[in-house]
Amino acid sequence: MADRDEKIFPALPQKRQRAREQGQIARSRDLTSAISFTAGVLLVAGSAAALGRSVLGAFRQSLAAGASADLGGAVRHALVWPLALTAGLAAMLCAAAAAGAAAQGGIVFAPARLTPDLGRLNPLKYFQRIFSAAGGIELAKAAAKIVLVAMVAWSTAQWALALATGAHNVAQGLGALAFAADRLLYLSAVIALVAGAADYAHKRYEHESELRMTRQEMMDEMKQEEGNPQVKRALRRAQRKSFKRIRGIHQAAAATVVLTNPTHYAVALRYRRGFDQAPLVVAKGAGENAHRIIAVARLAAVPVMENKPLARVLFKATEVGDYIPRQFYRAIAEVLAAIMRAEAQQQAARRTA
């Protein structure tokens, strides 16, 4: 059996919501950076020609600005396109970073994280964090990425030099170098995405492990959010009793006798010799339900007898579907005997008539 202090249960939705409101979500900075870097690579590769033309045009205009009388206007005219392209690329990179963050649990605004924490200024805690196991893992991941990129860059450089050496002219050599640069960027983007995805999987595993709950924590959470289980069981018992009482009103037609208060309480009893081991409560009610039981009994020609103390005590001591307690056998036997005598007198009167 698992220890009560061991976190073996997954987090409940309410705990996940509280953690999200506090900014505790599974998020990898490496994956966000990788998505931004990949977006930048694709944008640069797709707009390389336009960027080259813009740079050359700005260079020409800057040279022509030296001969212009309006130097300020010429400079502004020369820089407008490069600045516009730079601003557009920066906006796209910001959008890519936001998309990368949204893909890892959505955009979360946690005001609690904005609260100043003077403990972060403690140099001791900083060095403890740097030289901790988590810091070592981060250093190992960074070193692995650097080694992989260096290996790809070295192999790409060798391939590009061999290709450029066999070129017939300068244009082919420059084209080979440009193709090698694109290849290096694409492979670096792939490495960054794979490393970022692995880091996100690790962060998500750590996040789920931190959110897991012990048995006691789960019980306390359920009591707080859904109510005490003992109270819920009591409510369900009360609902079942109420349902039995309402359903039992129609069973009054099959009763042997209905005892009344006469108006406040009504208890319908059934006793069939050889079938029921004791008188059985088939219906009971108070107030409006008592009137309904009496009306159903009279329509079915069931005897209705007024016995205030017996009706009151049976209403409080029994439930629908219960046999009456043994201490009431004598009183109920007298009632049943009175009913049988009345029925015998009625039959005798019919025979003589």
Tens digit of each residue's pLDDT (9 = 90 or more) over 271-286: 888 888 888 888 888 8
Where in the chain are the domains? 29-103, 122-227, 232-352
**The pLDDT of residue 62:** 60
pLDDT at 293 exceeding the cut of 80: yes
Give yes or no for a contact between 246 and 44, defined as CB atoms under 8 angstroms apart. Answer: no
Overall average pLDDT of the 160-185 stretch: 73
What pTM, to 2 d.p., does this model score?
0.47
pLDDT at residue 229 is higher than 70:
no
Q: What is the pLDDT of residue 37?
A: 82
CATH 1.10.10.10 fits 232-352, yes or no: no
Residue 257 has pLDDT above 70, yes or no: yes
Q: How confident is the model at residue 107 (pLDDT cuts 50, 70, 90)?
A: low
**What is the model's pLDDT at position 13?**
77
Mean pLDDT of the region 264-269: 88
In the chain, pLDDT over 70 holds for what percent of residues? Answer: 68
Number of other residues whose CB lies within 10 A of the CB of residue 220: 12
Q: What angle do CA 123, 124, 126 make, to 5 degrees?
A: 65
Average confidence (pLDDT) over 256-284:
86
State yes or no: pLDDT of 314 exceeds 70: yes
Measure the CA–CA gap between 298 and 294, rounded to whole angstroms. 6
Determine the average pLDDT of the residues in 211-232: 69
Quick check: 84 pLDDT over 80? no
Average model confidence (pLDDT) across the chain: 76
- Band the pLDDT of 2: cuts 50, 70, 90: very low
Which own/partner pairs from 181-190 qualify as long-range (CB within 8 Å, at least 24 positions apart)? 182/45, 183/156, 184/152, 184/153, 184/156, 185/41, 185/44, 185/45, 186/41, 186/45, 187/152, 187/156, 188/37, 188/41, 188/149, 188/152, 189/34, 189/37, 189/38, 189/41
Among 2-16, 111-125, 192-206, 321-335, which is the least confidently predicted range? Answer: 111-125
156: phi then psi, degrees, rounded to nearest 5: -70, -40
pLDDT at residue number 174:
67
| Least confidently predicted of 101-105, 244-248, 317-321 | 244-248
For residue 106, the model assigns a pLDDT of: 66
Q: At what angle do helices 48-65 and 71-102 cross, to 10 degrees?
A: 160
Mean pLDDT of 221-243: 61
Instruction: Give 236 or 153, the one with higher predicted confidence.
Output: 153
Task: Write down the pLDDT at residue 121.
Answer: 63
Asked if residue 3 has pLDDT above 50, the reply is: no
pLDDT of 216 reads 77
Which of 121-135, 136-150, 219-233 reaches the highest mean pLDDT? 136-150
Stretch 161-176: mean pLDDT: 70
Cα-Cα-Cα-Cα torsion 67, 69, 74, 75, nearest 10 degrees, comes to 80
**Sorting pLDDT into bands at 50, 70 and 90, what band is 352?**
confident
- Average the pLDDT over 86-105 and give the result: 77
pLDDT of residue 343: 81
Q: Where are the beta strands (DSSP E) in 139-288?
A: 257-260, 265-270, 280-286
Got the DSSP string for 47-93? Answer: THHHHHHHHHHHHHHHHHHTT-S-HHHHHHHHHHHHHHHHHHHHHHH
